Amino acid sequence: MLFEKRLTVPDTYPLTLNALLAGCNQKTSRDPVMSATEAEVQAALDQLKRLSLVIESSGGRVMRYAENVKRVLEVPSESVALLVTLILRGPQTAGELRIHCERLQKFSDISAVEGFLGELAVWPPGALVVELPRQPGARRTAGRTCFRGRRRRSRWPRTRRPHPASWRRVWRSRRAEGRGRTARDELFALRKTVSRLCAELGVEPPQR
């Protein structure tokens, strides 16, 4: 919610507790529709502050709150938008994420969404999204967040985090490794077929 409001109503950001409560419970442009109490919102803020994902500041007579996800996780805004949408709406396909993220972040195409999901899947301290098995009849798999409540900031080794720009290289490297294994398997099968045919024909197999 804080991430969304930072983009949609920057003039009133950071938000007071009352403004955040009203935003959580608004009935328009909200899916799913929530009915949170002030105590629930305050408890969530307190938990997020302990993780440094929300920062508190004094503004006038009341406290105001701002999100700090991008800085703590050291991920780009596109990744934050995907995480926020996954946490709010649950498992979705890349195509659904592209549509549902439109207010937060516009993606040029589905492959762009998949690229950022790939980076989140190999986030060095631990995957922030995982790919679910394809359901019967579904044409695409759906991503699911595995961030919520599973890792505390104190367990994230800052000194060992690669720069976010390197994550895409890691993802591409893993995909290249997968293609390499497939090519080796196909080559091995081809060699077996050639050897069998040569044996049937009574000729020497070609030298490797």
Residue type, 186: E
Is 0.75 topped by the overall pTM? no
pLDDT bucket at 180, cuts 50 / 70 / 90: low
pLDDT bucket at 202, cuts 50 / 70 / 90: confident
* Residue 39 in this model has a pLDDT that exceeds 90: yes
Q: What confidence score (pLDDT) does residue 30 get?
A: 67
The Cα–Cα gap between 169 and 4 comes to 29
Q: What confidence score (pLDDT) does residue 55 get?
A: 92
Q: What confidence score (pLDDT) does residue 126 get?
A: 83
Domain range annotation of the chain? 2-67, 73-161, 168-208
Bridge partners of 58? Answer: 63
Bridge partners of 63? Answer: 58
Would you say the CATH fold of 73-161 matches that of 2-67? yes
For domain 73-161, give the CATH number.
1.10.10.10
* Residue 115 in this model has a pLDDT that exceeds 80: yes
pLDDT bucket at 145, cuts 50 / 70 / 90: low
Bridge partners of 55? Answer: 66
Q: What confidence score (pLDDT) does residue 81 get?
A: 92
pLDDT (tens digit per residue) in 9-29: 888 888 899 998 888 888 776
Fold of 2-67: Arc Repressor Mutant, subunit A (1.10.10)
